[in-house]
Structure 1
Amino acid sequence: MIRRFFCIALIGAILFSSGLLSADEKTEKYINTLTELGYPAPEENQLVHIPPTMEDLEEADVHPELKRVIRRGYDLFTNTQQLRGENVFNNMDCSSCHTGAGRMPFSAPIWPAAVTLPDFRGKNGHVNSLEERIAGCFTYSMNGKPPEYGSDKMVALTAYHSWLATGVEMYPDKPIYGRGFPAPDRPEELSYSRGEQGYNEKCAVCHSEDGSGLQVGNQTVFPAPWGDGSNNWGAGIVRLFTAAGFIKNNMPLGQPNSLSDQQAWDIAYYISSQERPQDPRYTGDVEETREKYGPTFHKHSRYGQIREVDGKRLGDHENTGEKDFLKPDTVRSRTFE
């Protein structure tokens, strides 16, 4: 465990300080540290990018006002709870899922969004901009109401995303190393009881047995994996493969890749079998909603399914958590006509 925490600290040192290393030396050290933690080495054709740091920003030859806006984006990203009750209605920060302030590979680093969007997104069936992608996170992962498109908050967040992508070409022609939450192969069988045991042994110490997480004042220390303080049924991480990928690559904190593939999937299955606020796309009927969004999303979640331990149909309710609305007006279709 000491070695793992040392390696995590070393990644932090590489990510958060430019140091005296050459670019090639920095990349080599970065990759070596990741492989020591059990992550795969990049394949020959993959794009490896080490995002610039906030320290790098201070030395960058960009306008002081742009620096100020990027800092504001970083502040909003790492302390999104400052928007609680306005744009955020649970105890999540952006960095709850995108760890390391959105820089960490295999934890859905955010810089790829800045160079791969606009692009088609199957979840909503149309081409999405970077702002719209961020709005989706507020809508689903924050169970909230996104800042207005073009607002100071949204510009700051997009500026921070773009800063982290400094030096990467738009629409890169190589696969991106460490993108998303890559999941291990799914085992033949998943177990609720094994997942519950694994959660209580490995996760509850931080996230609580009841899944409520831990907050101190208005700061999220450990986010809630389910319940009213968590993401809603439309959030990407309710999909089993996304949850399993996040858990395998990032949890327990400071011990990535320490769980077996079976443990990661079982814990994901257990967490994804707990209740949370309603999907903002809810039609008023859980079966109808699952049928409508099953092909593009819920075929990978437990939404609308029967929980084996008590016969409860998951998502069969009108609870919207801490907010007093179901769907913000930013969730809409586009035709480009």
Structure 2
Amino acid sequence: MTAHKIPLALASAALTAGMSLATLAEPMPSTVATLVELGYPAPQEGELVHIPPTMADLEKADLHPETKEVIRRGYDLFTNTQQLRGENVFNEMNCSSCHLGEGRQPFSAPIWPAAVTLPSYRGKNDHVNNLEERIAGCFAYSMNGVPPEYGSDDMLALSAYHQWLAKGAPMYPDQPIYGRGFPAPERPEKLSYQRGEELYQAQCAICHSEDGSGLYQDGEYVFPAPWGDGSNNWGAGIVRTETAAGFIKNNMPLGQPLSLSDQQAWDIAYYMTRQERPQDPRYTGDVEETLEKFGPTFHKNSSYGQVREHDSHVLGDHANWGEKGDEVTPWNVGQSRFEDLKEK
């Protein structure tokens, strides 16, 4: 077995609960050493390296039993968000579909940084967001759904799980965070839809189907749909080509991270993000108007509103809302905050 074919989950086996290293003067944790062996970059001096605790660590933690139960509920919702299908989720996604390794995995947008960097300003909705609001955004866009209410049992449980994973990390860290987000490789000079399609069929279709509809067994999905009605909508972060390229490069094919070249990762991302999906819930009724309104803060990095090369189709020019239909609207989209401060 080559290093690139070692499942990244193996790198989680030796985690030490709540460990954070502010500089490289500290010994490198074994899990980070494993990542480096797989080909991921080593932490740079001054980067914050945090090793999230596991659910096994939770059992040994000195927390009230009811607190542990709520954190377990958050973990259950995070890894099986489909249990909220038809109420809060209207596609084939779980939170863990994008945030791999139970939300703990570096270079797969681990979720613990949200717990220590929020509340903070977010350009996507042009105001300061707290942790619950950030989670709500994932429901509205990535799940093509409707978020649980702020303060509800499910929202509290998901927040508690995020914060459990952040145990031991400093609040509002001054250092860059190692392995945060989906860091993309440098964009090649030219991207190819045709190459991307060929690569997708060769490398991705076995899990995600030739038509991007995902993989089902016994009526339940095993691997999510990268486009189409069962996928995330046009407002989800991963529909941006750079974000998709970062996810693919660092995590795909599953169990073979970093096995694709930078060009291959970008070409597959380009192909996938130029397929149709449910409408952005911020849609004004006109794709050009929506693009003009949200292009500067979000869609400048997506294919939304662009003309697809091979068939002249305008991407996003539709009123298709996927499974949730046109009568279900995420209540959190368009909410403003601190208007009194802006007036000052």
Q: What's the secondary structure of 2:51's corresponding residue?
A: coil
Q: What is the rounded CA distance, in whole Å, between the counterparts of 2:60 and 2:218 in structure 1?
A: 34
Q: Is the 8 A contact 1:182 1:245 kept in 2?
A: yes
The residue that corresponds to 1:71 in the other structure is 72
Deviation per CA, 1:146-202: give whole Å up to 9, x if none: 001000000000000000000111101111000000000001111000000110111
Q: Is the 8 A contact 2:278 2:322 kept in 1?
A: yes
Q: Is the 8 A contact 2:136 2:147 kept in 1?
A: yes
The residue that corresponds to 1:334 in the other structure is 336
Please give the TM-score of this superposition, normalised by the length of structure 1: 0.95
What is the correspondence of 1:283-302 to structure 2 with a 5 Å cutoff?
Answer: 283-302=284-303
Q: What is the rounded CA distance, in whole Å, between the counterparts of 1:44 and 1:7 in structure 2?
A: 27
Structure 2: any 5+ residue segments left out of the alignment? none
What is the correspondence of 1:242-321 to structure 2 with a 5 Å cutoff?
Answer: 242-321=243-322
Q: Residues 98 and 7 of structure 1: is their aligned pair in 2 closer, same or farther, counting only changes over 3 Å?
A: closer
Is 1:8 the counterpart of 2:8? The answer is: yes
The residue that corresponds to 2:155 in the other structure is 154
Deviation at residue 220 of structure 1 after TM alignment = 3.5
Q: Is the 8 A contact 2:12 2:31 kept in 1?
A: no
Q: What's the secondary structure of 1:215's corresponding residue?
A: strand
Q: What is the rounded CA distance, in whole Å, between the counterparts of 2:95 and 2:180 in structure 1?
A: 16
The residue that corresponds to 2:107 in the other structure is 106
Deviation at residue 290 of structure 1 after TM alignment = 0.5
Q: Is the 8 A contact 2:4 2:259 kept in 1?
A: no
Q: What's the secondary structure of 1:172's corresponding residue?
A: coil
Query: 1:244 is matched by which residue type in structure 2?
Result: A
Query: 2:107 is matched by which residue type in structure 1?
Result: F
Q: 229-238 or 30-39, which moves further after superposition?
A: 30-39
Q: What is the rounded CA distance, in whole Å, between the counterparts of 1:57 and 1:268 in structure 2?
A: 37
Q: What's the secondary structure of 1:259's corresponding residue?
A: coil
The residue that corresponds to 2:57 in the other structure is 56
Q: What is the rounded CA distance, in whole Å, between the counterparts of 1:9 and 1:157 in structure 2?
A: 22
Deviation at residue 215 of structure 1 after TM alignment = 3.0
Indicate the RMSD between aligned Cα atoms, in angstroms: 1.8
What is the correspondence of 1:225-244 to structure 2 with a 5 Å cutoff?
Answer: 225-244=226-245
Q: Is the 8 A contact 1:126 1:334 kept in 2?
A: yes
Q: Residues 66 and 240 of structure 1: is their aligned pair in 2 closer, same or farther, counting only changes over 3 Å?
A: same
Deviation at residue 313 of structure 1 after TM alignment = 0.4
Deviation at residue 207 of structure 1 after TM alignment = 0.3
Identical pairs, percent: 72
Q: Is the 8 A contact 1:118 1:127 kept in 2?
A: yes
The residue that corresponds to 1:194 in the other structure is 195
Count of residues paired in the alignment: 333
Q: What is the rounded CA distance, in whole Å, between the counterparts of 1:2 and 1:233 in structure 2?
A: 37
Q: Is the 8 A contact 2:128 2:337 kept in 1?
A: no
Q: What's the secondary structure of 1:179's corresponding residue?
A: coil
Deviation at residue 33 of structure 1 after TM alignment = 0.6
